[in-house]
Amino acid sequence: MIKNKQPGQQPDAPAKGPAKGHIKLTSHPSQRDAASPVQWGAPSAGARGPVVGAVNDGAQRNVIGAHSGSYSIYRALAVAAGTLDPVHVADLTDTAPAARIGPYSQWADVGKIVSLDPYGHMVSEVFSEQLESGLDIRPTIAVTKARVNMPEIKEAMRKGRLEADGDLLTENGDVRVTKAAIEPVWYLPGIAERFAVSETDLRRSLFEHSGGMYTELVTRNDLKLFLPPIGGLTVYCFGDVSAVRDPGREIACRVHDECNGSDVFGSDICTCRPYLAHGVEVCIET
Protein backbone atom coordinates (compact mmCIF):
# COMPACT_ATOMS: atom_id res chain seq x y z
CA MET A 1 0.00 0.00 0.00
CA ILE A 2 1.31 3.46 -0.91
CA LYS A 3 0.73 6.17 1.67
CA ASN A 4 0.16 9.65 0.30
CA LYS A 5 2.01 12.54 1.88
CA GLN A 6 -0.11 15.13 3.65
CA PRO A 7 -0.11 18.66 2.20
CA GLY A 8 3.03 20.46 3.27
CA GLN A 9 4.64 17.28 4.61
CA GLN A 10 8.31 16.93 3.70
CA PRO A 11 9.50 13.78 1.91
CA ASP A 12 11.59 11.27 3.79
CA ALA A 13 15.16 12.53 4.13
CA PRO A 14 17.95 10.39 2.68
CA ALA A 15 20.04 8.40 5.12
CA LYS A 16 23.15 10.41 4.32
CA GLY A 17 23.89 12.82 1.54
CA PRO A 18 27.00 13.02 -0.59
CA ALA A 19 30.06 14.73 0.79
CA LYS A 20 30.10 18.50 0.60
CA GLY A 21 33.03 20.86 0.48
CA HIS A 22 36.13 21.38 -1.59
CA ILE A 23 36.61 19.07 -4.57
CA LYS A 24 40.20 17.92 -4.90
CA LEU A 25 41.22 17.43 -8.51
CA THR A 26 43.53 14.53 -9.27
CA SER A 27 44.56 15.65 -12.74
CA HIS A 28 48.00 16.59 -11.41
CA PRO A 29 50.04 15.11 -8.56
CA SER A 30 50.11 16.95 -5.26
CA GLN A 31 52.97 17.15 -2.79
CA ARG A 32 50.50 15.91 -0.20
CA ASP A 33 49.85 12.71 -2.12
CA ALA A 34 51.54 9.74 -0.47
CA ALA A 35 50.45 6.99 -2.81
CA SER A 36 52.95 4.21 -3.41
CA PRO A 37 53.35 3.34 -7.10
CA VAL A 38 52.71 -0.25 -8.14
CA GLN A 39 55.83 -2.07 -9.36
CA TRP A 40 54.11 -4.25 -11.96
CA GLY A 41 55.93 -7.54 -12.48
CA ALA A 42 57.74 -7.46 -9.13
CA PRO A 43 58.78 -10.88 -7.73
CA SER A 44 56.24 -10.83 -4.88
CA ALA A 45 53.01 -9.16 -3.82
CA GLY A 46 54.84 -7.21 -1.14
CA ALA A 47 57.42 -5.90 -3.58
CA ARG A 48 54.77 -5.01 -6.14
CA GLY A 49 52.36 -3.28 -3.78
CA PRO A 50 48.55 -3.17 -3.65
CA VAL A 51 46.19 -1.69 -6.21
CA VAL A 52 44.42 1.18 -4.43
CA GLY A 53 41.47 2.53 -6.38
CA ALA A 54 39.03 3.52 -3.63
CA VAL A 55 37.84 7.10 -4.08
CA ASN A 56 37.39 7.90 -0.39
CA ASP A 57 41.12 8.45 0.18
CA GLY A 58 42.53 10.27 -2.82
CA ALA A 59 45.98 10.63 -1.27
CA GLN A 60 46.51 6.86 -1.34
CA ARG A 61 45.14 6.14 -4.81
CA ASN A 62 47.70 4.77 -7.25
CA VAL A 63 45.44 4.09 -10.23
CA ILE A 64 43.33 5.95 -12.77
CA GLY A 65 39.60 5.22 -12.63
CA ALA A 66 37.46 3.54 -10.00
CA HIS A 67 36.64 0.04 -8.84
CA SER A 68 33.69 -2.00 -10.16
CA GLY A 69 33.97 -0.97 -13.80
CA SER A 70 30.69 0.27 -15.25
CA TYR A 71 29.00 -0.25 -11.87
CA SER A 72 30.98 2.66 -10.42
CA ILE A 73 28.32 4.89 -11.99
CA TYR A 74 25.59 3.13 -10.01
CA ARG A 75 27.64 3.56 -6.85
CA ALA A 76 27.82 7.29 -7.58
CA LEU A 77 24.03 7.40 -7.96
CA ALA A 78 23.56 5.60 -4.64
CA VAL A 79 25.90 8.02 -2.88
CA ALA A 80 24.18 11.03 -4.46
CA ALA A 81 20.79 9.71 -3.35
CA GLY A 82 22.06 9.27 0.18
CA THR A 83 21.49 5.53 0.29
CA LEU A 84 25.18 4.54 0.43
CA ASP A 85 27.82 5.86 2.80
CA PRO A 86 30.51 7.40 0.55
CA VAL A 87 33.29 6.43 2.99
CA HIS A 88 32.07 2.89 3.64
CA VAL A 89 34.91 0.38 3.85
CA ALA A 90 34.08 -3.26 3.18
CA ASP A 91 34.72 -5.92 5.81
CA LEU A 92 36.89 -8.55 4.11
CA THR A 93 36.53 -11.12 6.88
CA ASP A 94 35.94 -14.63 5.49
CA THR A 95 36.47 -13.49 1.90
CA ALA A 96 39.40 -15.80 1.18
CA PRO A 97 39.15 -17.50 -2.23
CA ALA A 98 37.35 -20.86 -2.22
CA ALA A 99 40.24 -22.40 -4.15
CA ARG A 100 43.96 -21.75 -3.92
CA ILE A 101 45.18 -20.14 -7.14
CA GLY A 102 48.80 -19.04 -7.34
CA PRO A 103 51.07 -17.32 -6.98
CA TYR A 104 52.82 -18.49 -10.14
CA SER A 105 56.07 -17.44 -11.78
CA GLN A 106 54.21 -15.70 -14.62
CA TRP A 107 52.92 -13.14 -12.13
CA ALA A 108 56.46 -11.80 -11.80
CA ASP A 109 56.85 -11.26 -15.55
CA VAL A 110 55.89 -7.69 -16.39
CA GLY A 111 54.63 -8.60 -19.86
CA LYS A 112 52.71 -11.82 -19.17
CA ILE A 113 49.60 -10.38 -17.48
CA VAL A 114 48.52 -6.85 -18.35
CA SER A 115 44.70 -6.69 -18.10
CA LEU A 116 43.98 -8.00 -14.59
CA ASP A 117 45.57 -8.04 -11.15
CA PRO A 118 46.73 -11.62 -10.49
CA TYR A 119 46.75 -10.89 -6.75
CA GLY A 120 43.21 -9.50 -6.92
CA HIS A 121 41.68 -12.46 -5.05
CA MET A 122 44.37 -12.56 -2.35
CA VAL A 123 44.36 -9.00 -1.00
CA SER A 124 43.22 -9.98 2.51
CA GLU A 125 46.18 -12.38 2.71
CA VAL A 126 49.08 -10.71 0.94
CA PHE A 127 48.24 -7.14 1.99
CA SER A 128 46.96 -7.85 5.50
CA GLU A 129 49.34 -5.38 7.15
CA GLN A 130 48.25 -2.54 4.88
CA LEU A 131 44.60 -3.38 5.51
CA GLU A 132 45.15 -3.37 9.28
CA SER A 133 46.76 0.07 8.99
CA GLY A 134 43.53 1.40 7.46
CA LEU A 135 44.38 1.35 3.76
CA ASP A 136 41.25 0.71 1.68
CA ILE A 137 42.37 -2.14 -0.59
CA ARG A 138 39.60 -3.88 -2.48
CA PRO A 139 39.57 -7.28 -4.17
CA THR A 140 39.32 -7.28 -7.96
CA ILE A 141 38.77 -11.04 -8.22
CA ALA A 142 36.27 -13.22 -6.35
CA VAL A 143 36.80 -16.99 -6.35
CA THR A 144 33.86 -19.15 -5.27
CA LYS A 145 32.43 -22.63 -5.75
CA ALA A 146 29.33 -23.02 -7.91
CA ARG A 147 27.18 -25.52 -9.76
CA VAL A 148 26.20 -25.39 -13.41
CA ASN A 149 22.93 -27.04 -14.44
CA MET A 150 21.97 -27.04 -18.13
CA PRO A 151 19.37 -29.15 -19.95
CA GLU A 152 21.95 -29.88 -22.63
CA ILE A 153 24.17 -31.63 -20.07
CA LYS A 154 21.30 -33.85 -18.93
CA GLU A 155 20.60 -34.67 -22.58
CA ALA A 156 24.25 -35.61 -23.08
CA MET A 157 23.96 -37.92 -20.07
CA ARG A 158 20.80 -39.55 -21.42
CA LYS A 159 22.47 -40.17 -24.76
CA GLY A 160 25.56 -41.64 -23.13
CA ARG A 161 28.05 -38.93 -24.13
CA LEU A 162 28.60 -37.99 -20.48
CA GLU A 163 28.57 -40.17 -17.38
CA ALA A 164 28.18 -38.99 -13.80
CA ASP A 165 31.20 -39.56 -11.59
CA GLY A 166 29.68 -38.12 -8.40
CA ASP A 167 32.50 -35.61 -8.15
CA LEU A 168 32.60 -33.27 -11.13
CA LEU A 169 29.27 -34.39 -12.60
CA THR A 170 26.46 -35.50 -10.29
CA GLU A 171 23.63 -37.92 -11.03
CA ASN A 172 21.10 -35.09 -11.40
CA GLY A 173 23.25 -33.28 -13.97
CA ASP A 174 24.85 -30.66 -11.74
CA VAL A 175 28.43 -29.76 -12.66
CA ARG A 176 30.68 -28.62 -9.81
CA VAL A 177 32.89 -25.74 -10.88
CA THR A 178 35.22 -23.12 -9.46
CA LYS A 179 34.04 -19.67 -10.50
CA ALA A 180 36.22 -16.56 -10.67
CA ALA A 181 34.70 -13.13 -11.32
CA ILE A 182 37.43 -10.78 -12.54
CA GLU A 183 37.43 -6.99 -12.63
CA PRO A 184 39.70 -5.44 -15.28
CA VAL A 185 42.94 -3.80 -14.13
CA TRP A 186 44.97 -2.48 -17.06
CA TYR A 187 48.73 -2.04 -16.93
CA LEU A 188 48.89 0.67 -19.58
CA PRO A 189 52.47 0.06 -20.83
CA GLY A 190 51.62 -3.62 -21.33
CA ILE A 191 48.30 -2.89 -23.04
CA ALA A 192 50.06 -0.49 -25.41
CA GLU A 193 52.66 -3.14 -26.24
CA ARG A 194 49.94 -5.71 -27.00
CA PHE A 195 48.35 -3.33 -29.51
CA ALA A 196 51.72 -2.26 -30.94
CA VAL A 197 51.16 1.42 -30.13
CA SER A 198 52.97 3.86 -27.90
CA GLU A 199 51.70 4.34 -24.36
CA THR A 200 51.25 8.05 -25.12
CA ASP A 201 49.01 7.33 -28.11
CA LEU A 202 47.01 4.79 -26.12
CA ARG A 203 46.45 7.21 -23.25
CA ARG A 204 45.41 10.00 -25.59
CA SER A 205 42.98 7.79 -27.50
CA LEU A 206 41.39 6.50 -24.29
CA PHE A 207 41.07 10.07 -23.02
CA GLU A 208 39.60 11.54 -26.19
CA HIS A 209 37.22 8.70 -27.02
CA SER A 210 35.80 8.50 -23.52
CA GLY A 211 34.73 12.13 -23.76
CA GLY A 212 37.63 13.30 -21.62
CA MET A 213 36.35 11.27 -18.67
CA TYR A 214 39.79 10.59 -17.19
CA THR A 215 42.16 13.56 -17.45
CA GLU A 216 44.81 11.59 -15.55
CA LEU A 217 45.36 9.52 -18.69
CA VAL A 218 47.13 12.48 -20.27
CA THR A 219 48.39 14.35 -17.20
CA ARG A 220 49.50 11.60 -14.82
CA ASN A 221 52.12 9.50 -16.56
CA ASP A 222 53.24 8.41 -13.11
CA LEU A 223 50.03 6.37 -12.78
CA LYS A 224 50.46 3.22 -14.85
CA LEU A 225 47.28 1.36 -13.86
CA PHE A 226 43.80 2.05 -15.25
CA LEU A 227 40.51 0.67 -13.95
CA PRO A 228 38.42 1.02 -17.12
CA PRO A 229 34.63 1.58 -16.92
CA ILE A 230 33.87 -1.70 -18.68
CA GLY A 231 32.51 -5.10 -17.74
CA GLY A 232 34.75 -7.83 -16.45
CA LEU A 233 34.89 -11.53 -17.18
CA THR A 234 34.01 -14.78 -15.46
CA VAL A 235 36.03 -17.99 -15.53
CA TYR A 236 34.34 -21.34 -14.88
CA CYS A 237 36.93 -24.01 -14.10
CA PHE A 238 35.84 -27.64 -14.39
CA GLY A 239 37.88 -30.01 -12.27
CA ASP A 240 41.12 -29.51 -10.39
CA VAL A 241 42.19 -25.86 -10.59
CA SER A 242 45.82 -26.74 -9.92
CA ALA A 243 45.92 -28.72 -13.19
CA VAL A 244 46.30 -25.51 -15.19
CA ARG A 245 49.99 -25.38 -14.23
CA ASP A 246 50.72 -29.01 -15.15
CA PRO A 247 52.15 -29.22 -18.71
CA GLY A 248 51.29 -32.91 -18.77
CA ARG A 249 47.56 -32.31 -18.35
CA GLU A 250 45.27 -31.67 -21.30
CA ILE A 251 43.09 -28.59 -20.84
CA ALA A 252 39.94 -27.70 -22.77
CA CYS A 253 39.14 -23.99 -23.00
CA ARG A 254 36.41 -21.97 -24.66
CA VAL A 255 36.49 -18.17 -24.81
CA HIS A 256 32.79 -17.29 -24.85
CA ASP A 257 31.19 -13.88 -25.36
CA GLU A 258 28.10 -14.15 -23.17
CA CYS A 259 24.74 -13.53 -24.80
CA ASN A 260 21.60 -13.12 -22.70
CA GLY A 261 19.29 -13.64 -25.66
CA SER A 262 20.59 -17.10 -26.48
CA ASP A 263 22.59 -18.21 -23.43
CA VAL A 264 19.91 -17.28 -20.90
CA PHE A 265 16.58 -17.12 -22.73
CA GLY A 266 17.24 -19.68 -25.46
CA SER A 267 16.52 -17.35 -28.37
CA ASP A 268 17.35 -18.66 -31.84
CA ILE A 269 18.52 -15.24 -33.00
CA CYS A 270 22.09 -16.55 -32.70
CA THR A 271 24.03 -19.76 -32.02
CA CYS A 272 25.75 -18.67 -28.82
CA ARG A 273 24.09 -21.19 -26.50
CA PRO A 274 24.82 -24.29 -28.63
CA TYR A 275 28.48 -23.31 -28.74
CA LEU A 276 28.45 -22.67 -24.98
CA ALA A 277 26.80 -26.04 -24.27
CA HIS A 278 29.32 -27.81 -26.50
CA GLY A 279 32.19 -26.07 -24.72
CA VAL A 280 30.86 -27.11 -21.31
CA GLU A 281 30.46 -30.70 -22.49
CA VAL A 282 34.02 -30.85 -23.81
CA CYS A 283 35.34 -29.38 -20.54
CA ILE A 284 33.53 -32.10 -18.59
CA GLU A 285 34.91 -34.80 -20.90
CA THR A 286 38.45 -33.48 -20.60
Q: What is the DSSP string of 229-265?
A: SS--EEEEEES-GGGGG-TTS----------IIIIIT
* 240-254 confidence digits (pLDDT tens): 998 888 889 999 999
* 186-233 confidence digits (pLDDT tens): 999 999 999 999 999 999 999 999 999 999 999 999 999 999 999 999
Handedness of CA 119, 276, 266, 147 (dihedral sign): negative
pTM of the model: 0.86
Beta strands in 89-222 (DSSP E): 141-148, 175-182, 186-187
Name the pLDDT band for 27 (thresholds 50, 70, 90). low
CA–CA separation, 39 vs 57, rounded Å?
A: 20
- Tell me, what's the pLDDT at 269? 87
Instruction: Say whether pLDDT at 33 is over 90.
Output: no
Tally of helices (H runs) and strands (E runs) in the chain? 9, 6
- Tell me, what's the pLDDT at 3? 43
Instruction: Say whether pLDDT at 274 is over 60.
Output: yes
CB 180: neighbour CB atoms within 10 A? 23
CA–CA separation, 228 vs 50, rounded Å?
A: 17
Q: What average pLDDT score do residues 154-173 get?
A: 95
- Tell me, what's the pLDDT at 90? 85
Instruction: Say whether pLDDT at 18 is over 70.
Output: no
Q: Where are the alpha helices (DSSP H) in 127-165?
A: 128-132, 151-158
Instruction: Say whether pLDDT at 45 is over 50.
Output: yes
3-class state of residue 226 by DSSP: strand
Q: How deeply is 67 buried, as exposed, middle or buried, from its count of CB atoms within 10 A (0-12, 13-18, 19+)?
A: buried
Give the least confident one: 1-10, 91-100, 157-166.
1-10
- Tell me, what's the pLDDT at 25? 62
- Start-to-end CA distance of the chain, whole Å, equals 55
Name the pLDDT band for 56 (thresholds 50, 70, 90). confident
Using the CB atoms, write b or e for 144-165: b if 16+ within 10 Å. Answer: eeeebebeebeebbeeeebeee
CB 250: neighbour CB atoms within 10 A? 7
- Cβ–Cβ < 8 Å for 231, 217: no
Q: What average pLDDT score do residues 136-162 get?
A: 95
* 95-132 confidence digits (pLDDT tens): 899 999 999 999 999 999 999 999 999 999 999 999 99
Mean pLDDT of the chain: 88
Instruction: Say whether pLDDT at 17 is over 80.
Output: no
**Nearest residue to 165 via CA among 9, 285, 47, 266:** 285
Instruction: Say whether pLDDT at 14 is over 90.
Output: no
- Tell me, what's the pLDDT at 23? 62
* Residue 13: partners with Cβ closer than 8 Å, 6 or more residues away: 82
* 68-88 confidence digits (pLDDT tens): 988 999 999 999 999 999 888
